[in-house]
C-alpha cells in the first residue's frame, strides 16, 4: 500500500488535515495509523502568522496530537534561514506572533535601526507604513525575505489578500525580487526534512502550485489530495508535472497499492 513506500510524511494543513476549522474525514485514523507504524510526520503551512506553539494548540483543539517540533510554518522556516545566513537584526512586516517566532530563534527585531533583513509576512494590521518602512530598510541594505508569496487565501466573500499581496507592494517599490522561503521553494521542505531520510519522504497536499511543485523542487515524492476546493480549478500544474499519486481521502494511503 501507498503508506508503506515512505517513512516520512509531510502534510499540508488547510484542505488536507482540516477545512474551515473542521478535521477532514479519514484524517484522525490515518494519522493514528502512521503513528503506530512509527512514521515521521511534519505539518507544513505557508501561513506566517502563528507561532508553531499556537499552530500545535490549534491542531490539538481539533483532536490531533502533535509535537510542536512537527510544525513547520513559513515564519519558523524563515527564522532557520536567517540563522543559517548569520543574520542577527531583522525588520518584520507581519503579525506579533511572527516577531515572537523570530525572537524565539534568537533574532533581534528592530523597528527604527537599520536591519540586515526585512522579513515579510501578513496580518490584518499590516499597513502602508509597514510597506514604506520595509522599502526604506531594503534601500538601506537589508535583504528582502518573503516568508511566502501566496497572493490570497479563500474566504466566504472571496479571496482575501495574503502575504504575496504585501510582498508585491514592496517588490513594486524596490524593483527587486525577494528571497522566498515558503512552499513551493525547497528551503521550507529542506527545513522540514532536516535529520530525516529525504529519499523516503512524501509531500501530501491539495495545491499543485505550492505543495506538488514544492515536492518536485525538493526532489521528493508527492500525493495530491483532490477536494471540493478544486471545483473549477485545474488539479495539475501548467508545466505538465503532476503528483506521483492522487487520492480523495487520507484513508487511501492505506488502501491504495
Ligand atoms: Mg492546502
Report how far ligand 1's centroid is from the alpha carbon of 15 (Å).
4
pLDDT in tens, 110-137: 999 999 999 999 999 999 999 999 999 9
- pLDDT beyond 50 at 10: yes
Residue 239 grid cell: 508545466
> Rounded to whole angstroms, how far apart are CA atoms 47 and 77?
11
Which DSSP category does 68 fall into?
A: G
Q: Are 168 and 142 in contact (CB under 8 A)?
A: no
Report how far ligand 1's centroid is from the alpha carbon of 113 (Å).
37
Residue 138 grid cell: 531594503
Which residues carry out catalysis?
Answer: 12, 14
SS3 of residue 107 by DSSP: coil
What is the model's pLDDT at position 153? Answer: 86
The structural domains of the chain, with segments of one domain joined by +, span 2-46+183-253, 75-180
Per-residue b/e over 187-198, b at no fewer than 16 CB within 10 Å? Answer: bbbbbbbeeeee
Report how far ligand 1's centroid is from the alpha carbon of 174 (Å).
30
Q: How confident is the model at residue 231 (pLDDT cuts 50, 70, 90)?
A: very low
In whole angstroms, what separates CA 75 from the centre of its chain?
8
Question: 204 pairs with which residues across the strands?
Answer: 11, 223
Q: Are 166 and 124 in contact (CB under 8 A)?
A: no
75-to-96, 189, 240 alpha-carbon distances in Å:
11, 13, 30
Report how far ligand 1's centroid is from the alpha carbon of 205 (Å).
6
Strands lying side by side in the sheet with 201-205: 71-73, 40-45, 8-12, 201-205, 221-225, 245-247
To which H or E segment does residue 90 belong?
A: strand 89-93
Report how far ligand 1's centroid is from the alpha carbon of 229 (Å).
9
- pLDDT beyond 90 at 236: no
What is the model's pLDDT at position 228? Answer: 61
* Arithmetic mean of pLDDT, 188-201: 96
Question: 222 pairs with which residues across the strands?
Answer: 203
Identical fold, 2-46+183-253 and 75-180: yes
Residue ranges with CB less than 5 Å from ion ligand 1: 12, 14-15, 206-207
Best CATH choice for the domain 2-46+183-253 from the list 1.10.10.10, 3.40.50.150, 3.30.565.10, 3.40.50.1000: 3.40.50.1000
- pLDDT beyond 90 at 9: yes
Report how far ligand 1's centroid is from the alpha carbon of 183 (Å).
11
Alpha-carbon radius of gyration of the chain? 18
How many Cβ atoms are within 10 Å of 207's Cβ, its own excluded?
A: 23
Q: How confident is the model at residue 155 (pLDDT cuts 50, 70, 90)?
A: confident
Report how far ligand 1's centroid is from the alpha carbon of 142 (Å).
31
Q: Are 74 and 188 in contact (CB under 8 A)?
A: yes
pLDDT in tens, 38-57: 999 999 999 999 999 999 99
Q: How confident is the model at residue 235 (pLDDT cuts 50, 70, 90)?
A: low
Report how far ligand 1's centroid is from the alpha carbon of 46 (Å).
9
CATH architecture of 75-180: 3-Layer(aba) Sandwich (3.40)
Q: How confident is the model at residue 257 (pLDDT cuts 50, 70, 90)?
A: confident
Percent of the chain with pLDDT strictly greater than 90: 91
Amino acid at each position: 500500500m501507498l503508506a508503506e513506500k515512505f517513512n516520512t510524511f509531510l502534510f499540508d494543513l488547510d484542505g488536507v488535515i482540516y477545512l474551515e476549522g473542521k478535521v477532514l474525514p479519514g484524517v484522525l485514523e490515518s494519522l493514528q495509523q502512521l503513528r503506530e507504524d512509527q512514521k515521521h510526520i511534519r505539518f507544513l503551512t505557508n501561513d506566517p502568522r502563528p507561532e508553531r506553539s499556537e499552530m500545535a494548540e490549534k491542531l490539538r483543539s481539533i483532536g490531533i496530537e502533535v509535537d510542536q517540533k512537527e510544525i513547520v510554518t513559513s515564519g519558523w522556516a524563515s527564522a532557520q534561514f536567517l540563522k543559517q545566513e548569520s543574520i542577527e537584526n531583522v525588520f518584520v512586516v507581519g503579525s506579533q506572533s511572527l516577531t515572537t517566532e523570530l525572537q524565539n530563534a534568537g533574532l533581534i527585531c528592530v523597528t527604527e535601526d537599520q536591519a540586515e533583513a526585512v522579513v515579510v509576512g501578513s496580518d490584518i494590521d499590516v499597513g502602508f507604513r509597514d510597506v514604506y518602512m520595509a522599502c526604506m530598510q531594503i534601500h538601506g541594505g537589508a535583504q528582502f525575505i518573503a516568508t511566502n508569496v501566496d497572493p490570497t487565501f479563500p474566504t466566504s466573500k472571496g479571496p482575501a489578500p495574503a502575504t504575496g499581496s504585501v510582498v508585491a507592494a514592496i517588490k513594486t517599490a524596490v524593483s527587486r525580487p525577494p528571497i522566498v522561503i515558503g512552499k513551493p521553494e525547497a528551503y521550507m521542505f529542506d527545513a522540514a526534512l532536516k535529520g530525516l531520510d529525504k529519499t523516503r519522504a512524501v509531500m501530501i497536499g491539495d495545491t499543485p502550485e505550492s505543495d506538488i511543485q514544492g515536492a518536485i523542487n525538493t526532489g521528493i515524492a508527492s500525493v495530491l489530495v483532490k477536494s471540493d476546493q478544486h471545483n473549477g480549478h485545474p488539479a495539475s500544474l501548467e508545466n505538465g508535472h503532476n503528483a506521483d499519486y492522487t487520492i480523495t481521502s487520507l484513508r487511501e494511503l492505506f488502501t491504495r497499492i
